[in-house]
Structure 1
Amino acid sequence: MASYWAADSKLHSTPGSLASFIAELTGQGPDAQGDSVNCSLAAFFICNATLHLTGESWRRCKEWAPSLTANKSPLHAAIDVVRLARIFYAARLATRNSTHCKPWPVVDLRKLDPLSRKKSGVLFALDNPAVAEIARQLPQKCERLDGLFESVTQKWFARTGAQKPRLGSKPICTVDIDAMTPTHWQLLGRLVPKCLH
């Protein structure tokens, strides 16, 4: 679930929290289009699980996806940095005349050509060193989520006969908002669109 959230969040300049993402997905059934069959693992995660494509766009994506050599996800905390920077920006607008502030650029990369994802001037967790650097400076809390899906995971391995991993998953580290100080919020303020005084 955390990987799915991270992949989806990379495509938005206004990502939601991991908790809200899990809450939104709770209770959803399998893909009604049946597009998860007969495709590579890369195609499944990119075309089905992340982009939710169907029809001709899914077929084109299915052919394109295996050609990718790497898909490095940002730190989970970097996604929080973008989300919290958006909250910081909204608070700034509430205290100033918003006509003197640059607008927050809202972009959904799923609607752009997947081969040209760079969009200058837009705050994304993906490929943004400033976001990653601030994420490292903010307080974080880390959790292992293995136990949350233990019974479902065991059933899946039993049903598929797949080999279980030798090691458990890595901890998921997100920004600990309760431990943030004014200095941390000032770091986030460096990322948001500027306002005239």
Structure 2
Amino acid sequence: MEQSIRLGRFKGIPIGLHYTWLIAFGLITVSLISSYSQRYPDWSSETKLVIGLVTSLLFFLSVIGHELAHSLVALAKGIPVKSITLFVFGGVSQIAREAATAAAEFQIAIVGPVSSFLIGGVFTLLAPLTEAMSWPLAESFRWLGTINFMLAIFNLIPGFPLDGGRVLRSLIWWVKGDFEA
């Protein structure tokens, strides 16, 4: 977690923020505000700014949720987790060592995308429920639902260092009976 700001700990896992995260946060926030300006010209500047900032923060909390899912399963399998760090491209769980079995590797890898699908589902369900209370909040939830579904699908691409690459490796390991296969 070098060159990062410590945000805190969860279940003993240090969670940090690499300085490059500020770039991603800024770009996402500006992009959201710009989109809201085009689609909702009647929203006040303050509303666009607040919803843009809140949506960006909730997105990065979703990324932490994805990484925590990996980390908590690793801990349950007896594998120490060094840290979770948010950076410009998302987040990374620094798991101390490889899993001992194909099943453990599969479970650690697949739980991240599953958590992103679940988070996306929660936001998608919340969007219509909040429309009457706050249209901007409903729009935020719609975007968060969509982006979490996209994050889950992207992470299932079967190539390293994505979760899908680890899932594929675990399946090959299980079929061949050899981690190196």
Which structure is higher in RCO with an 8 Å CA cutoff and minimum separation 6? 1
Higher strand content, 1 or 2: 2
TM-score, normalisation: structure 1: 0.28
TM-score, normalisation: structure 2: 0.29
